[in-house]
C-alpha cells in the first residue's frame, strides 16, 4: 500500500500547457490531505500477491494485511 499524490494536471491549461494557480489542489487538500506527501491525496496504490483469476467492475476487494511503504 502506498499513498498516491494528486498530480499537477488539474492545474495545467490543457490547450496551452501553462500552469495556472494551485487553487484546485489547495481545495482538494482541505478535504483529502496526505501529510506524508505534503499535499492532496488522490488515492492509494495496492500490490496483489498470488495473482489468479480476474477482477471486474463492482467486485469487492478485501485487504487482509498491508505495509506502509511511505515510512
**Per-residue pLDDT tens for 9-39?**
777 777 888 877 767 777 776 766 666 666 6
Kindly report the pTM of this predicted structure. Answer: 0.33
Alpha-carbon gap, residue 51 to 17, rounded angstroms? 39
Alpha-carbon gap, residue 23 to 27, rounded angstroms? 6
Position of cell 467486485?
59
Each domain of the chain, given as residue ranges in start order, spans 2-45
Give residue 64's pLDDT. Answer: 72
Give residue 30's pLDDT. Answer: 72
Q: Do 71 and 1 touch, CB atoms closer than 8 A?
A: no
**What integer best gives the mean pLDDT of the chain?**
71
pLDDT over 90, % of the chain? 1
Alpha-carbon gap, residue 6 to 4, rounded angstroms? 7
Give residue 62's pLDDT. Answer: 79
Alpha-carbon gap, residue 51 to 41, rounded angstroms? 27
Amino acid at each position: 500500500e502506498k499513498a498516491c499524490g494528486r498530480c499537477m494536471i488539474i492545474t495545467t491549461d490543457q490547450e496551452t500547457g501553462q500552469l495556472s494557480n494551485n487553487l484546485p489542489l489547495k481545495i482538494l487538500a482541505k478535504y483529502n490531505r496526505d501529510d506524508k506527501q505534503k499535499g492532496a491525496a488522490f488515492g492509494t496504490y495496492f500490490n496483489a500477491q498470488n495473482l489468479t483469476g480476474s477482477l471486474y467492475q463492482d467486485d469487492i476487494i478485501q485487504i487482509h494485511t498491508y505495509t506502509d511503504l511511505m515510512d
